[in-house]
Amino acid sequence: MGYKVAIVGATGNVGREMLDILSERGFPADEVVALASRRSVGTEVSFGDKTLKCKALENYDFSDTDICLMSAGGDVSKEWSPKIGRQGCVVIDNSSAFRYDSDVPLIVPEVNADAITGFTKKNIIANPNCSTAQLVVALKPLHDLATIKRVVVATYQSVSGAGKDAMDELFAQTRAVFVSDPVEAKKFPKRIAFNVIPHIDVFMEDGYTKEEWKVMVETKKILDPKIKLTCTAVRVPVFISHSEAVNVEFEKPISAEEATQALRNAPGVLVIDKREPGGYITPYEAAGEDATYVSRIREDATVENGLSFWCVSDNLRKGAALNAVQIAEVLINRKLIKPKAQKAA
Protein backbone atom coordinates (compact mmCIF):
# COMPACT_ATOMS: atom_id res chain seq x y z
CA MET A 1 0.00 0.00 0.00
CA GLY A 2 1.49 3.36 -1.07
CA TYR A 3 1.25 6.94 0.08
CA LYS A 4 -1.25 9.66 -0.69
CA VAL A 5 0.57 12.82 -1.74
CA ALA A 6 -0.85 16.32 -2.31
CA ILE A 7 0.97 19.01 -4.31
CA VAL A 8 -0.07 22.55 -3.34
CA GLY A 9 0.83 24.98 -6.15
CA ALA A 10 0.51 22.27 -8.81
CA THR A 11 -0.01 24.82 -11.61
CA GLY A 12 3.21 26.70 -10.77
CA ASN A 13 6.78 26.28 -12.01
CA VAL A 14 7.87 24.26 -9.00
CA GLY A 15 4.60 22.31 -8.61
CA ARG A 16 4.70 21.07 -12.21
CA GLU A 17 8.32 20.05 -11.75
CA MET A 18 7.35 18.15 -8.56
CA LEU A 19 4.76 16.16 -10.50
CA ASP A 20 7.34 15.29 -13.16
CA ILE A 21 9.93 14.25 -10.58
CA LEU A 22 7.48 12.08 -8.58
CA SER A 23 6.62 10.28 -11.78
CA GLU A 24 10.23 10.01 -13.09
CA ARG A 25 11.50 8.54 -9.81
CA GLY A 26 8.61 6.09 -9.43
CA PHE A 27 7.69 7.60 -6.06
CA PRO A 28 5.65 5.06 -4.04
CA ALA A 29 2.37 7.02 -4.20
CA ASP A 30 -1.00 5.33 -4.66
CA GLU A 31 -2.63 8.68 -5.25
CA VAL A 32 -1.36 12.15 -6.15
CA VAL A 33 -3.68 15.13 -5.75
CA ALA A 34 -3.05 18.46 -7.52
CA LEU A 35 -4.09 21.53 -5.53
CA ALA A 36 -3.91 25.24 -6.38
CA SER A 37 -5.96 28.37 -5.81
CA ARG A 38 -9.67 28.62 -6.56
CA ARG A 39 -8.73 30.23 -9.92
CA SER A 40 -7.29 26.93 -11.14
CA VAL A 41 -10.09 24.50 -10.20
CA GLY A 42 -10.43 22.05 -13.11
CA THR A 43 -7.10 23.07 -14.72
CA GLU A 44 -5.34 19.97 -16.02
CA VAL A 45 -1.71 19.24 -15.12
CA SER A 46 0.42 16.32 -16.34
CA PHE A 47 1.53 13.54 -14.06
CA GLY A 48 3.48 10.92 -16.03
CA ASP A 49 1.12 9.72 -18.74
CA LYS A 50 -1.94 10.86 -16.76
CA THR A 51 -3.55 14.25 -16.35
CA LEU A 52 -4.80 15.46 -12.98
CA LYS A 53 -7.55 18.03 -12.52
CA CYS A 54 -6.65 20.68 -9.96
CA LYS A 55 -8.74 21.07 -6.83
CA ALA A 56 -8.89 24.10 -4.53
CA LEU A 57 -6.61 24.04 -1.50
CA GLU A 58 -9.21 25.78 0.64
CA ASN A 59 -11.77 22.95 0.21
CA TYR A 60 -9.37 20.05 0.64
CA ASP A 61 -9.36 17.75 3.67
CA PHE A 62 -5.83 16.46 4.43
CA SER A 63 -6.84 13.91 7.06
CA ASP A 64 -6.15 10.89 4.79
CA THR A 65 -3.12 12.44 3.02
CA ASP A 66 0.38 11.40 4.11
CA ILE A 67 2.66 14.00 2.51
CA CYS A 68 1.97 17.53 1.28
CA LEU A 69 4.54 19.13 -1.03
CA MET A 70 3.76 22.82 -0.47
CA SER A 71 4.85 25.26 -3.16
CA ALA A 72 2.49 28.22 -3.24
CA GLY A 73 4.49 31.01 -1.59
CA GLY A 74 5.11 32.11 1.98
CA ASP A 75 1.68 33.58 2.80
CA VAL A 76 -0.20 30.45 1.74
CA SER A 77 2.29 28.30 3.64
CA LYS A 78 2.05 30.36 6.85
CA GLU A 79 -1.71 29.99 6.84
CA TRP A 80 -1.96 26.35 5.72
CA SER A 81 1.15 24.35 6.70
CA PRO A 82 0.44 24.32 10.48
CA LYS A 83 -3.21 23.31 9.87
CA ILE A 84 -2.17 20.54 7.47
CA GLY A 85 0.53 19.34 9.89
CA ARG A 86 -2.05 19.14 12.68
CA GLN A 87 -4.11 16.81 10.46
CA GLY A 88 -1.20 14.34 10.60
CA CYS A 89 0.06 15.08 7.11
CA VAL A 90 3.78 15.92 6.85
CA VAL A 91 4.32 19.19 4.99
CA ILE A 92 7.50 19.70 2.96
CA ASP A 93 7.47 23.43 2.40
CA ASN A 94 9.26 25.26 -0.39
CA SER A 95 8.71 28.77 0.92
CA SER A 96 10.84 30.62 3.47
CA ALA A 97 7.96 30.73 6.00
CA PHE A 98 9.37 28.06 8.38
CA ARG A 99 13.04 27.75 7.37
CA TYR A 100 14.36 29.67 10.37
CA ASP A 101 12.01 28.08 12.93
CA SER A 102 14.13 26.02 15.36
CA ASP A 103 11.29 23.45 15.55
CA VAL A 104 11.40 22.88 11.78
CA PRO A 105 14.29 20.98 10.18
CA LEU A 106 15.79 22.59 7.06
CA ILE A 107 17.02 19.70 4.94
CA VAL A 108 19.24 19.01 1.96
CA PRO A 109 19.44 15.20 1.99
CA GLU A 110 23.04 14.98 0.70
CA VAL A 111 24.15 17.28 3.53
CA ASN A 112 22.08 16.91 6.72
CA ALA A 113 19.54 14.08 6.25
CA ASP A 114 19.98 13.06 9.93
CA ALA A 115 18.43 16.34 11.11
CA ILE A 116 15.08 15.28 9.61
CA THR A 117 13.93 13.53 12.80
CA GLY A 118 13.03 16.93 14.28
CA PHE A 119 10.02 17.14 11.94
CA THR A 120 7.63 15.58 14.46
CA LYS A 121 7.37 18.82 16.49
CA LYS A 122 5.28 20.58 13.84
CA ASN A 123 4.96 17.99 11.07
CA ILE A 124 6.72 20.53 8.83
CA ILE A 125 10.06 20.18 7.03
CA ALA A 126 11.52 23.15 5.18
CA ASN A 127 13.21 23.11 1.79
CA PRO A 128 15.96 25.72 1.44
CA ASN A 129 16.21 28.62 -0.94
CA CYS A 130 17.26 27.52 -4.42
CA SER A 131 20.68 29.22 -4.22
CA THR A 132 21.41 27.65 -0.83
CA ALA A 133 20.56 24.09 -1.92
CA GLN A 134 23.14 23.84 -4.69
CA LEU A 135 25.73 25.76 -2.68
CA VAL A 136 25.65 23.45 0.35
CA VAL A 137 25.75 20.34 -1.85
CA ALA A 138 29.04 21.62 -3.30
CA LEU A 139 30.43 22.96 0.00
CA LYS A 140 29.75 19.87 2.14
CA PRO A 141 32.54 17.59 0.77
CA LEU A 142 35.01 20.48 0.93
CA HIS A 143 34.01 21.32 4.51
CA ASP A 144 34.49 17.67 5.50
CA LEU A 145 37.97 17.75 3.97
CA ALA A 146 39.43 21.07 5.11
CA THR A 147 36.85 22.92 7.34
CA ILE A 148 35.44 26.06 5.78
CA LYS A 149 36.14 29.38 7.51
CA ARG A 150 34.60 31.88 5.13
CA VAL A 151 32.66 31.86 1.84
CA VAL A 152 32.12 34.72 -0.63
CA VAL A 153 29.43 33.94 -3.18
CA ALA A 154 27.93 35.88 -6.08
CA THR A 155 24.80 34.34 -7.59
CA TYR A 156 23.57 34.58 -11.19
CA GLN A 157 19.92 33.59 -10.72
CA SER A 158 17.51 32.69 -13.49
CA VAL A 159 14.08 34.30 -13.83
CA SER A 160 12.22 31.01 -13.15
CA GLY A 161 13.27 31.50 -9.51
CA ALA A 162 10.69 34.31 -9.41
CA GLY A 163 7.82 32.16 -10.74
CA LYS A 164 6.08 31.68 -14.07
CA ASP A 165 5.04 35.34 -14.47
CA ALA A 166 8.74 36.30 -14.32
CA MET A 167 9.59 33.86 -17.13
CA ASP A 168 6.79 35.39 -19.21
CA GLU A 169 8.24 38.87 -18.52
CA LEU A 170 11.71 37.91 -19.81
CA PHE A 171 10.11 36.40 -22.92
CA ALA A 172 7.85 39.42 -23.55
CA GLN A 173 10.65 41.95 -23.00
CA THR A 174 13.06 40.07 -25.27
CA ARG A 175 10.43 39.96 -28.00
CA ALA A 176 9.62 43.66 -27.47
CA VAL A 177 13.29 44.59 -27.94
CA PHE A 178 13.44 42.72 -31.25
CA VAL A 179 10.23 44.23 -32.67
CA SER A 180 10.97 47.72 -31.20
CA ASP A 181 7.90 47.70 -28.93
CA PRO A 182 8.05 49.50 -25.55
CA VAL A 183 9.63 47.28 -22.87
CA GLU A 184 7.40 46.91 -19.82
CA ALA A 185 8.84 45.92 -16.40
CA LYS A 186 6.19 44.64 -13.94
CA LYS A 187 7.58 41.68 -12.06
CA PHE A 188 11.18 42.97 -11.89
CA PRO A 189 12.11 46.49 -10.74
CA LYS A 190 14.11 47.14 -13.92
CA ARG A 191 14.23 45.65 -17.40
CA ILE A 192 15.65 42.09 -17.26
CA ALA A 193 16.02 41.40 -21.01
CA PHE A 194 19.67 41.98 -22.04
CA ASN A 195 20.40 43.24 -18.53
CA VAL A 196 21.31 42.05 -15.01
CA ILE A 197 19.70 43.23 -11.75
CA PRO A 198 21.69 43.18 -8.46
CA HIS A 199 18.56 42.91 -6.33
CA ILE A 200 16.42 39.88 -5.38
CA ASP A 201 13.69 40.07 -2.71
CA VAL A 202 13.38 43.06 -0.34
CA PHE A 203 16.16 45.23 1.08
CA MET A 204 17.11 44.72 4.72
CA GLU A 205 18.31 47.42 7.14
CA ASP A 206 22.01 46.53 6.72
CA GLY A 207 21.90 46.92 2.93
CA TYR A 208 21.80 43.22 2.10
CA THR A 209 18.75 41.86 0.30
CA LYS A 210 16.56 39.18 1.87
CA GLU A 211 17.72 36.68 -0.79
CA GLU A 212 21.34 37.26 0.26
CA TRP A 213 20.39 36.98 3.93
CA LYS A 214 18.61 33.67 3.24
CA VAL A 215 21.75 32.12 1.68
CA MET A 216 23.85 33.27 4.66
CA VAL A 217 21.48 32.07 7.40
CA GLU A 218 20.41 28.83 5.69
CA THR A 219 23.99 27.70 4.97
CA LYS A 220 24.76 28.05 8.67
CA LYS A 221 21.63 26.13 9.70
CA ILE A 222 22.24 23.28 7.24
CA LEU A 223 26.01 22.98 7.16
CA ASP A 224 27.71 24.64 10.13
CA PRO A 225 26.87 27.72 12.23
CA LYS A 226 30.59 28.59 12.45
CA ILE A 227 30.91 29.28 8.70
CA LYS A 228 31.09 32.97 7.78
CA LEU A 229 29.40 33.74 4.49
CA THR A 230 28.68 36.84 2.44
CA CYS A 231 26.53 36.88 -0.68
CA THR A 232 25.60 39.14 -3.60
CA ALA A 233 22.46 37.86 -5.34
CA VAL A 234 21.94 38.92 -8.95
CA ARG A 235 19.09 38.20 -11.38
CA VAL A 236 20.22 37.39 -14.92
CA PRO A 237 18.26 36.93 -18.17
CA VAL A 238 18.40 33.13 -18.12
CA PHE A 239 15.18 31.08 -17.98
CA ILE A 240 16.30 28.10 -15.88
CA SER A 241 19.31 27.23 -13.63
CA HIS A 242 21.14 29.34 -11.13
CA SER A 243 24.92 29.83 -11.32
CA GLU A 244 27.26 30.82 -8.50
CA ALA A 245 30.83 32.12 -8.40
CA VAL A 246 32.13 30.82 -5.07
CA ASN A 247 35.31 31.71 -3.18
CA VAL A 248 36.15 29.70 -0.05
CA GLU A 249 38.75 30.09 2.68
CA PHE A 250 39.57 26.93 4.68
CA GLU A 251 41.15 26.18 8.06
CA LYS A 252 43.42 23.52 6.53
CA PRO A 253 45.37 23.40 3.27
CA ILE A 254 43.46 21.97 0.29
CA SER A 255 44.70 21.69 -3.29
CA ALA A 256 42.54 22.03 -6.39
CA GLU A 257 43.19 18.33 -7.10
CA GLU A 258 42.06 17.25 -3.62
CA ALA A 259 38.94 19.41 -3.91
CA THR A 260 38.16 18.00 -7.35
CA GLN A 261 38.50 14.44 -6.09
CA ALA A 262 36.27 15.10 -3.07
CA LEU A 263 33.65 16.75 -5.30
CA ARG A 264 33.79 13.87 -7.80
CA ASN A 265 33.02 11.42 -4.96
CA ALA A 266 30.27 13.57 -3.40
CA PRO A 267 26.58 12.63 -3.72
CA GLY A 268 24.61 14.89 -6.05
CA VAL A 269 27.71 16.57 -7.56
CA LEU A 270 29.05 16.28 -11.10
CA VAL A 271 32.41 17.88 -11.90
CA ILE A 272 32.90 19.22 -15.43
CA ASP A 273 36.25 20.92 -15.41
CA LYS A 274 38.52 20.95 -18.42
CA ARG A 275 40.75 24.00 -18.59
CA GLU A 276 39.84 24.76 -22.21
CA PRO A 277 37.12 26.70 -24.05
CA GLY A 278 33.77 25.06 -23.31
CA GLY A 279 35.22 22.74 -20.65
CA TYR A 280 32.79 23.98 -18.00
CA ILE A 281 29.04 23.92 -17.34
CA THR A 282 26.61 26.71 -18.23
CA PRO A 283 23.03 27.16 -16.96
CA TYR A 284 21.51 26.24 -20.31
CA GLU A 285 23.09 22.77 -20.11
CA ALA A 286 22.10 22.19 -16.47
CA ALA A 287 18.38 22.86 -17.09
CA GLY A 288 16.31 19.69 -16.67
CA GLU A 289 19.15 17.89 -14.87
CA ASP A 290 19.33 16.74 -11.25
CA ALA A 291 23.02 17.30 -10.50
CA THR A 292 24.79 20.21 -8.91
CA TYR A 293 27.57 20.88 -11.41
CA VAL A 294 30.97 22.24 -10.40
CA SER A 295 33.51 23.72 -12.81
CA ARG A 296 36.51 26.09 -12.81
CA ILE A 297 38.03 24.64 -9.58
CA ARG A 298 41.24 26.56 -8.84
CA GLU A 299 43.39 27.64 -5.92
CA ASP A 300 43.11 31.25 -4.75
CA ALA A 301 46.60 32.43 -3.81
CA THR A 302 45.33 35.75 -2.38
CA VAL A 303 44.34 34.06 0.92
CA GLU A 304 45.73 31.19 2.96
CA ASN A 305 44.02 27.92 1.97
CA GLY A 306 41.77 29.54 -0.65
CA LEU A 307 39.78 27.96 -3.46
CA SER A 308 37.40 29.32 -6.12
CA PHE A 309 34.85 27.46 -8.23
CA TRP A 310 31.76 27.84 -10.41
CA CYS A 311 28.58 25.99 -9.44
CA VAL A 312 25.41 25.54 -11.53
CA SER A 313 22.14 23.69 -10.91
CA ASP A 314 18.55 23.66 -12.14
CA ASN A 315 16.81 25.87 -9.57
CA LEU A 316 13.42 24.27 -10.19
CA ARG A 317 14.84 20.78 -9.57
CA LYS A 318 17.65 20.63 -6.95
CA GLY A 319 16.76 24.17 -5.90
CA ALA A 320 13.14 23.24 -5.20
CA ALA A 321 11.14 20.26 -6.50
CA LEU A 322 13.83 17.55 -6.53
CA ASN A 323 15.07 18.42 -3.06
CA ALA A 324 11.48 18.30 -1.74
CA VAL A 325 10.90 14.86 -3.28
CA GLN A 326 14.26 13.63 -1.94
CA ILE A 327 13.17 14.77 1.55
CA ALA A 328 9.96 12.75 1.15
CA GLU A 329 12.07 9.75 0.10
CA VAL A 330 14.20 10.10 3.25
CA LEU A 331 11.01 10.01 5.37
CA ILE A 332 9.92 6.82 3.63
CA ASN A 333 13.30 5.06 3.36
CA ARG A 334 14.05 5.69 7.03
CA LYS A 335 10.54 4.47 7.93
CA LEU A 336 9.72 7.74 9.66
CA ILE A 337 6.18 7.67 8.27
CA LYS A 338 3.73 4.94 7.30
CA PRO A 339 0.86 5.27 4.80
CA LYS A 340 -2.32 6.26 6.65
CA ALA A 341 -4.31 3.84 4.47
CA GLN A 342 -2.12 0.97 5.77
CA LYS A 343 -2.62 2.05 9.38
CA ALA A 344 -6.40 2.17 8.86
CA ALA A 345 -6.51 -1.29 7.18
The total of other beta-carbon atoms located within 10 Å of residue 249's CB is 18
Question: In degrees, to the nearest 5, what angle opens at C-alpha 109 toward C-alphas 77 and 147?
Answer: 115
Q: Which residue, 287, 305, 309, 339, is CA-closest to 161?
A: 287
Which of 65, 81, 132, 160 touches ligand NAP (CB under 6 A)?
Answer: 160
Closest separation in Å from C-beta 265 to ligand NAP = 27
219 touches ligand NAP (CB under 6 A): no
Residues 77, 14: Cα–Cα separation, whole Å? 14
Q: Which of 21, 33, 76, 263 binds ligand NAP (CB under 6 A)?
A: 76
- Contacts (CB under 6 A) with ligand NAP, residues 284-323: 315-316, 319-320
Burial of 172 (C-beta count, 10 Å sphere; 0-12/13-18/19+): middle
Name residues contacting ligand NAP, limited to 78-117 (CB under 6 A): 94-95
Q: What's the CA gap between 21 and 75, in Å, rounded?
A: 25
Question: Cα(245)–Cα(223) distance, rounded to whole angstroms?
Answer: 19
Q: Is 192 in the site for ligand NAP (CB under 6 A)?
A: no
Site for ligand NAP in 117-156 (CB under 6 A): 130
- Considering only residues 5, 40, 81, 327, which one is a binding residue for ligand NAP as defined by CB under 6 A? 40
Q: Shortest CA distance to 223 belongs to which of 194, 248, 188, 190?
A: 248
Q: How far is the CB of 268 from ligand NAP (least distance, A)?
A: 16
Active-site residue identified among 130, 143, 231, 311: 130
Environment class of 192 (CB within 10 Å of its CB; exposed 0-12, middle 13-18, buried 19+): buried
11 scored as a contact of ligand NAP (CB under 6 A): yes
327 binds ligand NAP (CB under 6 A): no
Out of 68, 231, 242, 311, the active site residue is: 242
Exactly one of 14, 126, 192, 248 binds ligand NAP (CB under 6 A); that residue is 14
Other residues' Cβ atoms within 10 Å of the Cβ of residue 337: 18
**Cα separation of 62 and 17, whole Å?**
22
**DSSP character for 256?**
H
Q: 80 vs 309, which CB is nearer to ligand NAP?
A: 80
Active site residue 143: no
**241 contacts ligand NAP (rule: CB under 6 A):** no
Q: Which of 36, 197, 272, 328 binds ligand NAP (CB under 6 A)?
A: 36
Binding residues for ligand NAP (CB under 6 A): 8-15, 36-37, 39-40, 57, 71-74, 76, 94-95, 130, 160-161, 163-164, 315-316, 319-320
Residues known to be catalytic:
130, 242
